[in-house]
Structure 1
Amino acid sequence: MKKIQGLIIIFCCWAGTLHAQNPQKLGWIWGPSVGWQYQSGNFLKASGWGLFAPNDYQYIKFNAGANFAWMQRKTTIIPEVSITYYLSNRLIFPFIQAEATPYTITPKVGISVLSMVDLGVGYGFDIRTKEDFKPLKGLTGSVTLNIPLKLY
């Protein structure tokens, strides 16, 4: 848990430093996202993200946030970081994504509409089981709305 929290802090500092150094040159788009995911149960996802384009046909998005769930009569909050690689500059963007929590690593594939609405499917691999919680593994599906606050 402390390793994931440390990674989230390092990522946020790194992304903030890059943006502060030269935001015009990097062309970052950033904002919040909210979504739903099913992975051994229903989760509400809330996060912040930053997206940049290394060239005209590829986009990379970094995301850090939390998953909220009501399972086994308990409210649970699970931190999560992810990286998404979009390939396209058209209306529909295919993507691959890797998500990591203290309990699961989840690779995904999917499609996105202008990287604003993501529809993904994947498989979660259990790293360890949260105490007094069921294992978070198996097939997963998600829908995410990315809200850009800065368009560049």
Structure 2
Amino acid sequence: MNIKGFAFILIGVLSCLSVAAQKNPLPAHNNWIFGPSIGYQYQSGSFLKASAWGLFAPNESQYMKIDAGANFTWMGGKTTVIPEVGFTYYVNDFVLLPFVKAELTPYTVTPKVGLSLFSLIDLGVGYGFDINTKKDFKQIKGVNLSLGVNIPLNFHLY
């Protein structure tokens, strides 16, 4: 068989596969990606962060993430758990995504900026503003540095 015959057969097979693929479209997916995350944060002390999150795309180049969880710390000779909610806006859909974030606890409001690697690893910096000081606890305010890992449970490529 010569090269022209082989090319003709290959094009015919690929055309048949294309027609078959059009008859069986890929299944539709939920627009939300969700999962757990774990991280470390320094703001007037060290915190271990654990949360659940959901991420959606309002268009092809922007992403928004909503998360809720808890910050764990050892201060004043005891373990303290502080609930937290956050909202993250990823600006682009490139490998490194710049983001802006706002976090709210019963004691602080913390705006942040940072970079994310495929929205899987977030590195952020911000400043926490004290809104309420916990009794028998130091103020949680000042510069905020954070590193988080987001684990998607329902990630899909199509």
Range class of TM-score, shorter chain: 0.7 to 0.9
Task: Give yes or no for the alignment of 1:124 onto 2:128.
Answer: yes
Q: What TM-score do you get using the length of structure 1 for normalisation?
A: 0.83
Where has structure 1 moved over 3 Å in runs of 4 or more?
A: none
In 2, the alpha carbon distance for the partners of 1:150 and 1:25 equals 9
What is the correspondence of 1:1-152 to structure 2 with a 5 Å cutoff? 24=28, 27-152=31-156
RMSD, aligned α-carbons: 0.9
Superposed CA deviations along residues 38-64 of structure 1, whole A, max 9, x for unmatched, are: 000000000000000000110000000
Deviation at 1:88, TM superposition (A): 1.1
- In structure 1, distance between residues paired with 2:154 and 2:91: 21
Q: Which runs of 5+ in 2 are unaligned?
A: 1-27
The verdict on how the C-alpha distance between 1:122 and 1:36 changes in structure 2, with shifts beyond 3 A counting, is same
Task: Percent identity, please.
Answer: 62
Partner amino acid, structure 2, of 1:142? S
Report the count of equivalent residues.
129
Which protein is bigger by CA-based radius of gyration? 2
Question: For residues 29 and 35 of structure 2, what CA distance do their matches in structure 1 show?
Answer: 18
TM-score scaled to structure 2, two decimals?
Answer: 0.80
How many Å separate the matches in 2 of 1:26 and 1:108?
29
* CA-to-aligned-CA distance 1:100-151 (integer Å, 9 cap, x gap): 0000000000000000000000000000100110000000100000000011
Q: Could you say what secondary structure the match of 2:106 adopts?
A: coil
Query: 1:26 Cα deviation (Å)?
Result: 5.0
